[in-house]
């Protein structure tokens, strides 16, 4: 497989050589993430790391900008034909790394492959088809009016259909998506993106070279070569930056923020993120949690600001709801409600003045300081006489426990793949239903059909304002009901040497657009 | 000799069989490998289908029989994460670990013998006491702490401004205590020389050698004091023995006595301990490799555990078991060479 890749890359480099001289991109960037991409097949897994690779070696039809709006990329323009159809116009003259030209047949191929991918098929479920009008025009069709059509289009990174078609030497289909074992696509790549993969040693290093025929000539990016090294250990990653071994690192651990700020040769960029960290209160396991008063008491007993300040070192934004600011469902009027007196009163009213004992579970290596957050929450609950028996587990062991709902309170962090509030409700608070998959991560078994109906209605409302109102009302009702205990949105942090101009290419999705990166 | 080797080979098989059984038995405790393979929003049915495809829904003994059958044909399975045969993954990571161990062993050999011998010959000298003191400190500091300190001192650099800079002596002291840094703090560097197969070596370029410095020093830091103390103690004992007295009485030069007659007998137990420690050193590489992001087997193993990459974990444990058996066999053979009175099993005296 590697031979194939190098052979392909080799021929690429030869073809690109004369052009590369005239390109203005000259800088080399050494960067360290906490992990490298698990595969070269961007449809194999839906994860932050894979999307970061997608933005380096591929281009989406449209992409999010800093203000959570959309920028045209491979789609030049788009218009709604009717409430179920959106027509896109493709950019002309875009070349893949293989030299093939991008047309609608590549988009169709990509769309169909996405529908096959186990990680992506849920996101593309509302879509019923793709109509190819001509080489540069196509339409995406949904079953119902779908307000998130454009959000979803940010996941369409056209693949080189010619490159991924046919069979390999041992008779495997090149288009096959393999979750385990290797496939053609997991070791070979041809996209339209700014960087060509020139070598890859999984878990060790990955090298990229700027694509000489990259279509976006307006891009200010001047990075010619990228060396990506995965450095899992936080301390080592920070040391690598401070010692000058790398130019750019992400993520930056909260404990080292000050150290990097103090260093005069490095820049730190932080942003409030969109991943909500929260607790579910399991009503099936604990009778008391069926009582809204008890749930509210818990909500009043938890000091989100305290956790954000003391445990997260200010590296989190305290939350009173799931939707972060900027999302359509974000309800400004929902305030943090830490008040121990009120919490004690509520427990008294509910008849649980003497409290009770529950179990709590949390991962200890999944989210930033996850186990410490759980410890703090357990201590806070002691003040309303709820005794907590806390168990923290590594993530590989935690999720099977989570699926089995084996704790009375379980911690989870969630990032909406669609960058939209409805996703939070669908996975975290919908009435659990094994057939439809609704409420798959609702470990509280909280069930409020009215709120579910409201969100479902919002999901076919294409008027953005009306839709936002509905989602905000849903947040309000869950807040009043204390359906879950929100804690905070985890902040994001990146750090680089001073000459690497990070700020313009970063966003809350944590997808650095490295193609546009300027290094002085 | 042949009987000895046959015995060792059958031992190796037994060891690997037991290890694979244990590794299989604990796999349920390691967690769900699927968590690393699929995104959060993948439905339970999809997960179950994938589990079926991978054979994870079968009872453990069925899985073990399937594994053992393949293993007998030399196939130790495919790593979930790397998507490649586990032995190939290990082969790719093995050279980095071996180079780290070789580098650390060289440091240990070069320093432990002279220092140990010196401390035995002149136990009361200031320098001996100094080395013994340092070695106590070295043996008590955990290897990851040593590593982090080394990185801070020699990679990042420390600026000391404790003393008044406007005075000559203050500036001099500040300068003397501050370090520049600049040594590589992670990985194996850009210039590796391809030797054969999966072996890319860092021994043949200055860049590769510089990258080896800090990891090897911190790995050696834990073993070096141990060997110094061991050589010193053994040497002191040998120096008391009768044949050394006779040699002295005979009027041989002290250099000849110390380095030819005494040292040879000192080295016997050192070789035994060294062989066992070499195996243990492979275990210590896990910590060193993690801190220095050294792409060897230790780091690979640690990551395999967090990802519950069971085939890779099983294969790693079996390979390490094999390494232990092989090093012990080699140690026994060397032992026979150094001391002809030692007999290998199965050979009549």
List pLDDT tens digits, range B185-228: 898 888 888 888 888 888 888 899 999 999 999 999 888 998 99
Contacts of A32 in chain B (CB under 8 A): 186
How many CB atoms are closer than 10 A to CB B186? 26
Query: What's the pLDDT at A16?
Result: 42
**A50 vs A260: CA distance, rounded Å:** 27
**B57 vs B60: CA distance, rounded Å:** 9
- CA dihedral defined by A281, A287, A293, A296, rounded to 10 degrees? -10
**A240 vs A314: CA distance, rounded Å:** 24
- Among chain B residues, the shortest Cα distance to A186 is held by B83
Contacts of B157 in chain A (CB under 8 A): 243
Contacts of B313 in chain A (CB under 8 A): none
Phi and psi torsions of A134, nearest 5°: -145, -165
Determine, for residues A119 and B42 on separate chains, whether the beta-carbon distance falls below 8 Å: yes
Band of residue B344 on the pLDDT scale cut at 50, 70, 90: low
Query: What's the pLDDT at B144?
Result: 85
- Among chain B residues, the shortest Cα distance to A48 is held by B39
Whether B143 contacts B287, CB under 8 Å: yes
Query: In 3-state terms, what secondary structure has residue B194?
Result: strand
**A410 vs A404: CA distance, rounded Å:** 11
Residue ranges in chain A modelled with pLDDT below 70: 1-24
Determine, for residues A203 and B39 on separate chains, whether the beta-carbon distance falls below 8 Å: no
Instruction: Give the best residue of B95, B185, B208, B299 to mutate against chain A (max A CB count within 10 A).
Output: B185
Query: What's the pLDDT at A12?
Result: 44
Determine, for residues B82 and A202 on separate chains, whether the beta-carbon distance falls below 8 Å: yes
Contacts of B45 in chain A (CB under 8 A): 437
List pLDDT tens digits, range B18-44: 988 888 888 777 778 887 788 777 888
CA distances from A180 to B45, B110, B308 (A): 17, 46, 14
Kindly write down the DSSP assignment for every residue of A301-337, as one continuous string. Answer: H--HHHIIIIISTT-EEE-SSSSPTTSTT--TT----
pLDDT surpassing 80 at residue B343? no
Contacts of B82 in chain A (CB under 8 A): 202-203
A184 bridge partner residues? none
Is the dihedral angle over the CA atoms B63, B64, B69, B74 positive or is it negative?
A: positive
CA distances from A270 to A49, A125, A510, B263 (A): 19, 34, 11, 61
Chain A to chain B, count of Cβ pairs less than 8 Å apart? Answer: 140
- A180, A245, A417 member nearest B80 (Cβ): A180
- Among chain A residues, the shortest Cα distance to B183 is held by A243
Estimate the crossing angle of helix A449-458 against helix A464-481, to 10 degrees.
160
Smallest CA–CA distance, residue B99 to chain A, in Å, is 16
Determine, for residues B41 and A395 on separate chains, whether the beta-carbon distance falls below 8 Å: no
CA A96 to chain CA mean position, Å = 26
Query: What's the pLDDT at A19?
Result: 41
DSSP letter for A60, please: -
- Among chain A residues, the shortest Cα distance to B180 is held by A243
Determine, for residues B185 and A47 on separate chains, whether the beta-carbon distance falls below 8 Å: no
Highest mean pLDDT among A306-310, B308-312, B339-343: A306-310
List pLDDT tens digits, range B165-178: 777 787 788 777 77
Contacts of A400 in chain B (CB under 8 A): 31-32
**A429 vs A321: CA distance, rounded Å:** 12
Query: What's the pLDDT at A350?
Result: 94
Write down the residue that tokens 């300081």 correspond to. Answer: A369
Whether A132 contacts A112, CB under 8 Å: no
Smallest CA–CA distance, residue A316 to chain B, in Å, is 22
B253 bridge partner residues? none
A271 bridge partner residues? A492
What tokens does A313 get? 């070192």
Query: In 3-state terms, what secondary structure has residue A77?
Result: strand
pLDDT surpassing 90 at residue B47? no
Query: What's the pLDDT at A193?
Result: 95
Instruction: Give the best residue of A202, A392, A424, A495 to mutate against chain B (max B CB count within 10 A).
Output: A202
Query: In 3-state terms, what secondary structure has residue B110?
Result: helix
Contacts of A440 in chain B (CB under 8 A): 41, 43-44
Counted residue by residue, chain A has a size of 520
- Among chain A residues, the shortest Cα distance to B92 is held by A201
Determine, for residues A122 and B54 on separate chains, whether the beta-carbon distance falls below 8 Å: no
Query: What's the pLDDT at A222?
Result: 92
Contacts of A229 in chain B (CB under 8 A): 186-187, 293
Band of residue B103 on the pLDDT scale cut at 50, 70, 90: very high
Write down the residue that tokens 């066999």 correspond to. Answer: B329
Determine, for residues A232 and B155 on separate chains, whether the beta-carbon distance falls below 8 Å: no
Instruction: Give the best residue of B38, B42, B52 to mutate against chain A (max A CB count within 10 A).
Output: B42
CA distances from B319 to B13, B76, B115, B310, B332 (A): 11, 10, 34, 14, 20
- Nearest CA-CA partner of A488 in A304, A237, A299: A304
Buried b (16+ CB within 10 A) or exposed e, A253-264: bbebbebbeebe
- Nearest CA-CA partner of A327 in A126, A475, A146, A490: A475
Smallest CA–CA distance, residue B19 to chain A, in Å, is 22
pTM, full prediction: 0.85
Please, what is the average pLDDT of chain B?
A: 85
Whether B344 contacts B332, CB under 8 Å: yes
Is the dihedral angle over the CA atoms A305, A310, A311, A317 positive or is it negative?
A: positive
**A480 vs B232: CA distance, rounded Å:** 74
- A47, A122, A243 member nearest B43 (Cβ): A122
Estimate the crossing angle of helix B206-240 against helix B143-150, to 10 degrees.
130
Query: What's the pLDDT at A214?
Result: 94
Query: What's the pLDDT at B345?
Result: 55
ipTM associated with this complex: 0.82
Smallest CA–CA distance, residue B321 to chain A, in Å, is 24
Kindly write down the DSSP assignment for every residue of A159-218, as one continuous string. Answer: --TTTT-SB-TTS-BTT---SSS--HHHH----SSSEEEEEEETTTEEEEEE-TT-S-TT
Report the first-to-last Cα separation within chain A, whole angstroms: 37
**B280 vs B273: CA distance, rounded Å:** 10
- B182, B183, B186 member nearest A236 (Cβ): B186
Burial of B91 (0-12, 13-18, 19+ CB in 10 A): middle
């Amino acid at each position: 497989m590697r031979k194939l890749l190098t052979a392909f890359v080799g021929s690429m480099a030869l073809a690109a050589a004369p052009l590369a001289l005239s390109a203005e991109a000259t800088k080399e960037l050494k960067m360290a993430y906490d992990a490298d991409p698990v595969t070269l097949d961007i449809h194999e897994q839906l994860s932050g790391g894979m999307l970061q690779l997608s933005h380096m070696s591929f281009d989406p039809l449209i992409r999010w900008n800093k203000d959570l709006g959309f920028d045209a990329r491979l789609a030049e323009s788009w218009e709604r034909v009717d409430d179920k159809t959106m027509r896109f116009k493709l950019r002309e003259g875009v070349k893949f790394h293989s030299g093939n030209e991008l047309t609608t047949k590549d988009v169709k191929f990509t769309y169909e492959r996405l529908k096959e991918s186990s990680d992506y098929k849920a996101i593309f479920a509302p879509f019923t088809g793709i109509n190819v009008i001509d080489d540069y025009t196509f339409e995406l069709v949904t079953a119902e009016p779908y307000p998130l059509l454009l959000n979803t289009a940010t996941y369409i990174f056209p693949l080189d259909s010619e490159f991924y078609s046919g069979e390999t030497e041992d008779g495997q289909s090149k288009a096959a998506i393999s979750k385990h074992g290797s496939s053609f696509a997991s070791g070979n790549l041809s996209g339209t993106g700014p960087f060509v993969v020139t070598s890859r040693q999984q878990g060790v290093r990955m090298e990229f070279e700027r694509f000489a025929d990259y279509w976006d000539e307006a891009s200010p990016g001047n990075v010619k070569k990228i060396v990506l090294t995965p450095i899992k250990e936080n301390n080592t990653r920070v040391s690598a930056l401070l010692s000058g071994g790398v130019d750019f690192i992400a993520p930056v651990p909260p404990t080292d923020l000050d150290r990097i700020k103090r260093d005069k040769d490095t820049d730190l960029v932080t942003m409030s993120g969109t991943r909500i960290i929260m607790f579910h209160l399991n009503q099936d396991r604990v009778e008391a949690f069926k009582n809204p008063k008890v749930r509210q008491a818990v909500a009043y007993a938890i000091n989100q600001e305290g956790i954000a300040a003391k445990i997260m070192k200010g590296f989190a934004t305290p939350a009173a709801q799931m939707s972060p600011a900027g999302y359509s469902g974000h309800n400004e009027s929902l305030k943090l409600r830490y008040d121990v007196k009120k919490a004690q009163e509520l427990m008294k009213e509910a008849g649980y003045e003497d409290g009770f004992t529950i179990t709590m579970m949390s991962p200890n290596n999944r989210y930033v300081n996850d186990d410490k957050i759980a410890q703090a929450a357990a201590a806070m609950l002691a003040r309303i006489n709820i005794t907590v028996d806390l168990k923290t587990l590594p993530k590989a062991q935690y999720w099977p426990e989570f699926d089995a709902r084996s704790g009375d309170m379980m911690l989870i962090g969630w990032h909406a793949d669609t960058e939209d509030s409805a996703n939070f409700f669908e996975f975290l608070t919908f009435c659990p239903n094994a057939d439809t998959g609704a409420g798959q991560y609702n470990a509280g078994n909280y069930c409020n059909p009215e709120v579910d109906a409201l969100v479902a209605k919002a999901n076919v409302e294409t008027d953005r304002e009306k839709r936002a109102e509905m989602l905000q009302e849903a947040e309000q009702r869950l807040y009043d009901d204390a359906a879950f205990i929100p804690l905070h949105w985890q902040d994001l942090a990146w750090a680089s040497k001073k000459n690497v101009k990070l700020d313009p290419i970063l966003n809350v999705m944590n997808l650095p657009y490295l193609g546009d990166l300027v290094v002085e | 000799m042949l009987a000895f080797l046959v015995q060792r080979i059958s031992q190796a098989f037994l060891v690997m069989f037991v290890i694979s059984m244990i590794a299989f038995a604990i796999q349920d405790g390691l967690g769900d490998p699927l968590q690393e393979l699929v995104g959060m929003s993948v439905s339970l049915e999809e997960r179950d289908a994938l589990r079926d495809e991978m054979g994870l829904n079968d009872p453990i003994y069925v899985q073990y029989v399937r594994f053992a059958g393949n293993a007998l044909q030399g196939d130790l399975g495919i790593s979930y994460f790397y998507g490649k045969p586990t032995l190939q993954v290990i082969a790719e990571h093995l050279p980095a670990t071996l180079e780290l161990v070789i580098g650390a062993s060289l440091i240990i050999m070069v320093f432990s013998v002279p220092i140990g011998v010196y401390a035995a010959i002149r136990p009361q000298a200031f320098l001996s006491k100094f080395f013994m003191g340092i070695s106590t400190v070295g043996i008590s500091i955990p290897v990851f702490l040593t590593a982090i300190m080394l990185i801070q001192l020699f990679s990042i650099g420390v600026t000391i401004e404790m003393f008044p800079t406007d005075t000559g002596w203050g500036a001099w002291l500040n300068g003397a205590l501050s370090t520049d840094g600049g040594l590589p703090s992670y990985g194996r560097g850009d210039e590796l020389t391809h030797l054969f197969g999966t072996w890319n070596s860092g021994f043949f370029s200055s860049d590769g050698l510089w990258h080896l410095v800090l990891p090897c020093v911190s790995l050696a830091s834990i073993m070096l004091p141990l060997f110094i103390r061991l050589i010193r103690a053994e040497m002191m004992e040998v120096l008391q023995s009768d044949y050394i007295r006779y040699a002295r009485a005979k009027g041989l030069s002290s250099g000849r006595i110390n380095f030819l007659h005494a040292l040879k007998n000192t080295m016997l137990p050192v070789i035994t301990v060294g062989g066992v420690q070499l195996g243990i050193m492979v275990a210590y590489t896990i910590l060193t490799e993690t801190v220095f992001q050294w792409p060897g087997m230790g780091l690979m193993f640690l990551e395999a555990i967090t990802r519950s990459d069971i085939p890779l974990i099983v294969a790693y444990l079996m390979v390490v078991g094999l390494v232990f058996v092989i090093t012990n066999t080699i140690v026994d053979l060397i032992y026979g060479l150094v001391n002809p009175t030692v007999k290998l099993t199965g050979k009549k005296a």
